Chains A and B, each alone.
Chain A
């Protein structure tokens, strides 16, 4: 049995801290990045199954992350976390091949559900919410 590799990117440290445990309990391997530059390096260096990224971060935004992911590995699914004023960006993200998006503020369970669904579609059938 193998577990999906997940990368969670958000410049807000609390987001990573709180989501990590829940996702790990689901049976995922979770890496967290606060600095989007680190994240891009990680994406280039390693194949992830699911990348969860905040759309708005200093210097590098979610769209750039999405593009890098799709470049590095087109199979990787990207879930976009959006904010209030970024529906334009979110639409652009969907057009560019994002798997789904979730708006802040959200419940951890909702995100977990989304991740589980993506993992299932990718063949990780033992992943349950």
Chain B
């Protein structure tokens, strides 16, 4: 795959590209945030409702405990009266009424108790209470029947009453204690749950924050890296990071659109700068053409004038000269046309040495007019590079023309093509001209940066060249010592697997 594959794609593919992005299922950040908050809300509702229910239960528990305590109070009261009766013969009526009261409480609340608390014992209590009441009634009957207060088997009755009384009090106290216990546990629960909930909420929030920020930060970081790549001149579309569509997809689509714009603008910039170079070259090439045409003209005229005096060998020599010079003209025209021709951005395996040689030939006339020699030195046996012939020629031409502009009297331009560090070839263009001041050097690749007078330089040469070389996955470096030399180094990867080492 070449970096320009995308550029070479049709418009349809680009539309499909965009469609692919936009047709992914939507899972937006908005939705994710809403989802997060909704989860929080549901959790809070659950905890709040839970707390309300528990508090309601506690309220019920409190009433239950209170009822049991009232019941206990009545029973204990009855037992006190009953004791008084056996000691002093008084208060039997009071004992009876307290018992009835207790029975009423029990009857009224039994249903409620059944529902709300510990089973067991309650039946027992009711049974013993009824028995207790029965014994008291029996006692009351006996008292009424014997006015002298001598009651037969009083001690037996007293024993029964004690037994039942003790059992009721024991059971009821036990129950009350257990209800108390339960109440206490409910209370503890109500106290703890919010604390647990807070802790849980805290961790949930940490998790959510980290999750969401990672969801945000990752694509942001990715896009920042992508813009860096784009700034280096690689206009391959941005690939989406996720399978679904979110707000970043919109950004990605927008960036890809911008990339297409940038690419087409850069191409037209390259094209117009090329045409400008062609304009400059044409004068030189026209001059260059004058030489072979003049040679043809002189030779043809000589033949015409001296035809009869010429030996056969001389005639053949002259015709050979005419053919040779025609060929030379064709070569010159071809070289210019090859550079001028409408370009279809094709990537071929290129012999960098001969490409640079053709380029120097194109510029040679400019150099000749100025009397500046261009020395070319190509290391033999270099592997080919993959590239766009015209664009690469344009780069080297820009660099050579810059060098030509920079040199003065005794100017010399040296062009070297050789191996660079692993997998790379380098084309070095060195001149012994004015050089570039250190404070200017960082700006020379900026678009429209020029130190040349208006009309002479547009300041686009190096910017366009860097764009082209970046597309070839190479780089251009500049090094200069003002007043001594300037070296531009174009480093290009050679065609993978074609190296002969």
Contact = CB atoms under 8 A, between A and B. Distances in A.
A125 interface: no
Interface in B310-340: 321, 325
A14 B284 contact: no
Most B CB contacts (10 A, CB to CB) among A14, A22, A56, A86 go to: A14
Interface in A53-84: 56, 58-61, 83-84
A14 B369 contact: no
A108 B301 contact: yes
Interface residues of A, number: 23
B305 interface: yes
Interface stretch (B71-79, B178-186, B215-223, B290-298): B290-298
B306 interface: yes
Contact of A56 (B286, B287, B296, B325): B287
Given A105-B290, A108-B305, A12 B368 contact: no
Contact of B293 (A60, A86, A104, A108): A104
B483 interface: no
A26 interface: no
A12 B291 contact: yes
Given A56-B368, A58-B373, A105-B293, A19 B298 contact: yes
Contacts of B302: 18, 21-22, 108
Nearest to B295: A14
Interface residues of B, number: 25
A89 B287 CA distance: 13
A108 to B, nearest CB: 5
A46 interface: no
Most A CB contacts (10 A, CB to CB) among B294, B299, B306 go to: B294
Most A CB contacts (10 A, CB to CB) among B298, B306, B368, B369 go to: B298
B434 to A, nearest CB: 21
B371 A84 contact: no
Closest 6 CB pairs of A and B: A105-B294, A18-B298, A85-B287, A104-B294, A84-B287, A104-B290
A83 B321 CA distance: 20
28 contacts: A12-B291, A14-B321, A15-B295, A18-B295, A22-B302, A56-B287, A59-B373, A61-B371, A83-B287, A83-B290, A83-B291, A84-B286, A84-B287, A85-B283, A85-B286, A85-B365, A86-B287, A86-B369, A104-B291, A104-B293, A105-B290, A105-B293, A105-B294, A105-B297, A106-B294, A107-B301, A108-B305, A109-B301
Contacts of B325: 14
Interface in B371-402: 371, 373
Interface in B145-162: none
A59 B297 contact: no
A14 B365 contact: no
Interface of B: 283-284, 286-287, 289-291, 293-299, 301-302, 305-306, 321, 325, 365, 368-369, 371, 373
A19 B295 CA distance: 10
A106 B11 CA distance: 54
Given A83-B291, A86-B287, A86-B369, A14 B301 contact: no
A105 B298 CA distance: 8
Given A12-B291, A84-B286, A85-B284, A108 B298 contact: yes
Given A85-B287, A104-B293, 20 more contacts: A15-B294, A15-B298, A18-B299, A18-B301, A22-B302, A56-B368, A56-B369, A58-B373, A59-B371, A59-B373, A61-B371, A83-B291, A84-B286, A84-B290, A104-B290, A105-B290, A105-B297, A105-B298, A106-B294, A108-B305
B328 to A, nearest CB: 10
Nearest to A14: B295
Interface string A38-62: 0000000000000000001011110
A67 to B, nearest CB: 14
A59 B410 CA distance: 9
B288 to A, nearest CB: 8
Contacts of B296: 105
A22 B305 contact: yes
A60 B305 CA distance: 33
A102 B368 CA distance: 19
B383 to A, nearest CB: 33
Nearest to B318: A18
Interface in A81-115: 83-86, 89, 104-109
